[in-house]
Chains A and B, each alone.
Chain A
Amino acid sequence: MLTTEQRQNRETAVRFMQAHAVPQATAWDEQGEIPRAILTRMADQGLLGTFIGTGQGGRGWDALSFGLLCEQTGAASASLLSILTVHSMTLQAVAQWGTPEQKQRWLQSLATGKTLAAFALTEPDIGSDASNITTRIEPEGTGYRLTGRKKWISFGRHADVFLVMARQDKLPVALLVPRDTPGLTVAPMTGLLGFRSAGLAEITFDNCPLPAAALVGRIGGGFSHVASASLDLGRFCVAFGCLGIIEACTLDAVVYARRRRQFGVPIFQHELILELIADMITGAKSVRQLCYHAAALRQAAEPESILETTVAKYAASRTAARVAGNAVQVHGAMGCSSQTRVERMFRDARICEIIEGSNQMQQLMIARNGAAEYLREARRLEKGTGDGVGA
């Protein structure tokens, strides 16, 4: 059940997406670009910093309200969701780990969307193996020189500032790097399966000079804390965004199945079509529960929120890929055409199984860390005090 405030926040997101994103999303996908004007409009509505306090330029929304915004954004355009995600990941890093000077310079500007951000971790040869990134800084004078390449950077084409993961010697660091830094170049990436209008780019840092104030957190804490916390928020966004894809695909499949007639009746009356739709509805309802559970734990800052968010992202992205496939199947040939949005969602859902940590990495984390709950219960049972896993 949503509170009155959460319902209002959800309505704000629904109204915005229905008016400004849903009608344009397929055109953006075909053009490979989301106009900056839509992001300016989102910023004007305060939708790029909802989870930041009102005193710092945000709207002070709770975790579930932010999730509901991600759901509606995902239902409209997964590319727009991707931009919201990477901007939010950088915003969160500044809010959580930034120095007073960094907060002064960036926080309000990011929360109000005057400055737009991207998150730069992945490299041409490094994806899941993030502890071995090769982008590096070397001390120079009172600051640093940054050298390296990043690839598959969502919104890299247009971001004003990047949260860049690098290393000093063997120690991971996180840095705020403005787009106009000398030596920084951006090469747009095209020919993508999905997220075609998310502004993906390859970023090259050629001996970029940076002040000491660019460092977020301490040297050595860049990945274990800054990047990890950002990726945790990213997984939260993607989980809810996938919920949006699932709901949109299910809606379209149900409507189409009631309208489309074969063998003299709507295909909704064919039992094998109903089997597909039953699977979609069940997926939507179960993923919603996982997402809401993760949001409640996140709001309470519970340690379990990290694992439950990972579980939600893993389940939501797998379900979104399956449900989008079902939606294409229900639509038949039409589902293979850009005349329907399920065609785009089918491609985008597949990307959600890879971003913010591939699902194989999520499986490793879930199995290794989720097993603790069962080990605890096993020990309780040995002592005769077991009360059930999940109790």
Chain B
Amino acid sequence: MQAETISHEVRGFLEPYIDDTEFSNDDDIFEMGLVNSLMAMQLVLFLEKRYAFKFEGADLDLVNFRTLTRIQDLVTRKLGKA
């Protein structure tokens, strides 16, 4: 799977929750207030289901989830390990 596809799919998942706010792949979606704790959990479940892996405690660094680029990197790493 192409890395860009991952960030595109994550954007597609998040966009309905954040109305019309525009954000780049490198914007901090937590700092911008676009993602709350409920959405963070939904995002984890979305990623696990869509890409068929399980997150572990070691993945739980908020830094990994702050931008679409970092989420893309994390998923790519997880898929590489799978």
B58 within 8 A of A: yes
The docked-state distance in angstroms from the alpha carbon of A171 to that of B60 is 12
Instruction: Judge whether B81 is part of the interface by a CB distance below 8 angstroms.
Output: no
Query: Are A225 and B39 in contact, with the CB atoms below 8 A?
Result: no
Q: What DSSP secondary structure best describes chain A's contact surface?
A: helix
Knowing A302-B49, A303-B43 touch, does A365 contact B60 (C-beta < 8 A)?
Answer: no
What does the 1/0 interface line of A297-312 toward B look like (CB < 8 Å)?
0000111111100100
Q: Once the chains bind, are A226 and B42 in contact (CB under 8 Å)?
A: no
* Segment of A262-270, A282-290, A335-343, A369-377 engaged in the interface with chain B: A369-377
A residues sitting closer than 8 Å to B (CB atoms) are 96-99, 171, 216-221, 223-226, 228-229, 232, 301-307, 310, 365, 368-369, 372-373, 375-376, 379
Report chain A residues within 8 Å CB of B58: 99, 217-218
Contacts A301-B49, A303-B49, A306-B45 given; does A228 touch B37 at CB 8 Å: yes
B61 (CB) vs chain A CBs: closest residue: A218
Listed residue (B30, B36, B37, B39) with the most chain A CB atoms within 10 angstroms of its CB: B37
Quote the shortest CB–CB distance from B62 to chain A (angstroms).
4
- How far apart are the CA atoms of A162 and B82 in the complex, in Å? 33
Using a Cβ–Cβ cut-off of 8 Å, how many residues does chain B contribute to the interface with A? Answer: 27
Contact assessment for B57 and A97 in the assembled complex, using a CB-CB cutoff below 8 Å: yes
- Asked if B48 is at the interface of the complex by the 8 Å CB criterion, the answer is yes
Identify the B interface with A (CB < 8 A).
13, 16-17, 19, 30, 36-46, 48-49, 56-63, 65
Asked if B44 contacts A225 (CB within 8 A), the reply is: yes
Asked if A303 and B16 make an inter-chain contact with CB atoms under 8 angstroms apart, the answer reads no
Question: Do the beta carbons of A221 and B61 come within 8 Å of each other?
Answer: yes
Verify B42–A303 contact, CB threshold 8 A: yes
Given contacts A223-B37, A224-B62, A229-B41, contact A217 B16 (CB under 8 A): no
A301 touches B38 (CB 8 A): no
Q: Does the CB pair A228–B48 fall under 8 Å?
A: no
Residues in chain B near residue A226, CB distance under 8 A: 60
A219: chain B residues within 8 A (beta carbon): 61
